[in-house]
């Protein structure tokens, strides 16, 4: 436990040092449901080898967080876990009943008495930490500084070695294809957090054409909600 506490202090110290002493900030703050959703989708899409998390699936239960956002965040994490060859998820003991009832996330999981903060680390190159350390919906810090990311990896490793194994999670399932090819850039633009006008300009089409293509994409995903479209795309492995 002393090693875990020391690693947490190391991670926080590294974030503070990089933010105050370096030529670049420790990370980029991301706020607003749309931009946070885009950041989570980007993390899921970029995952190739390893996913490390501190996760408390009950933290948002008593908070007024829109259900579509929760669905999208969960779908993104499942998509990332399915892409990664190694998944290590640490949850607090009080969340164990929720794990039994909720969607299964592939990979290994262990539980501890508590977790220091919510955390996502992808391929040891990029990390996401909530600005309030608890809820991604309230904003996150997207971190690419290698010193800070390595400190967070060490924090996770120290907690992992003292946590208890949870062995009931299933193996990853394979992704199921992708969207129709003409709609793939529309999906990427939809998840980028851009306004419709900016997305249409990026894709070289009129706003009316872009809006029609978004409608076609949502129809292909079986939803009329953009939030749910992102969640369904992640669930299908389209990201």
Q: In this predicted structure, what is the pLDDT of residue 163?
A: 93
Cα 14–19–22 angle (5° rounding)? 95
Specify whether the CB–CB gap between 192 and 157 falls below 8 A. Answer: no
Q: In this predicted structure, what is the pLDDT of residue 125?
A: 96
Q: In this predicted structure, what is the pLDDT of residue 196?
A: 85
Greatest C-alpha distance within the chain: 59
Q: In this predicted structure, what is the pLDDT of residue 17?
A: 53
Q: In this predicted structure, what is the pLDDT of residue 97?
A: 77
Q: In this predicted structure, what is the pLDDT of residue 19?
A: 47
pTM, two decimal places: 0.66
pLDDT < 70 regions, the chain: 1-25, 62, 100-103, 167-177, 239
Residues 80-99 have pLDDT tens digits of 998 898 999 999 988 887 77
The β-bridge partners of 141 are 29, 129
Specify whether the CB–CB gap between 127 and 152 falls below 8 A. Answer: yes
3-class secondary-structure state, position 6: helix
Strand intervals (E) in the chain: 27-30, 50-54, 86-92, 108-112, 119-122, 126-130, 140-143, 164-166
Q: In this predicted structure, what is the pLDDT of residue 74?
A: 86
Q: In this predicted structure, what is the pLDDT of residue 12?
A: 57
CA atoms within 13 A on the CB side of 208: 0
């Amino acid at each position: 436990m002393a090693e875990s506490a020391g690693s947490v202090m190391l991670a926080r110290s590294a974030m503070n040092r990089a933010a105050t002493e370096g030529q670049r900030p420790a990370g980029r703050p991301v706020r607003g449901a749309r931009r946070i959703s885009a950041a989570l989708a980007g993390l899921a899409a970029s995952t190739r080898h390893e996913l490390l998390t501190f996760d408390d699936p009950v933290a948002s239960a008593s908070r007024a967080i829109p259900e579509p956002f929760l669905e999208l965040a969960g779908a993104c994490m499942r998509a990332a876990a399915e892409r990664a060859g190694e998944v290590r998820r640490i949850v607090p003991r009080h969340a164990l009943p929720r794990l039994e009832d909720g969607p299964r996330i592939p990979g290994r999981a262990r539980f501890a008495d508590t977790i220091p903060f919510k955390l996502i680390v992808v391929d040891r190159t990029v990390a996401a930490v909530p600005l309030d350390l608890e809820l991604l919906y309230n904003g996150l810090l997207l971190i690419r500084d290698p010193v800070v990311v390595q400190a967070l990896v060490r924090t996770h490793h120290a907690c992992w070695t003292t946590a208890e194994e949870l062995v009931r999670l299933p193996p990853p399932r394979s992704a199921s294809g992708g969207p129709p090819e003409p709609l793939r850039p529309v999906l990427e633009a939809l998840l980028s957090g851009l306004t419709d006008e900016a997305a249409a300009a990026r894709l070289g089409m009129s706003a009316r054409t872009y809006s029609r293509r978004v409608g076609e994409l949502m129809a292909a995903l079986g939803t009329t909600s953009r939030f749910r479209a992102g969640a369904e795309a992640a669930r299908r492995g389209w990201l």
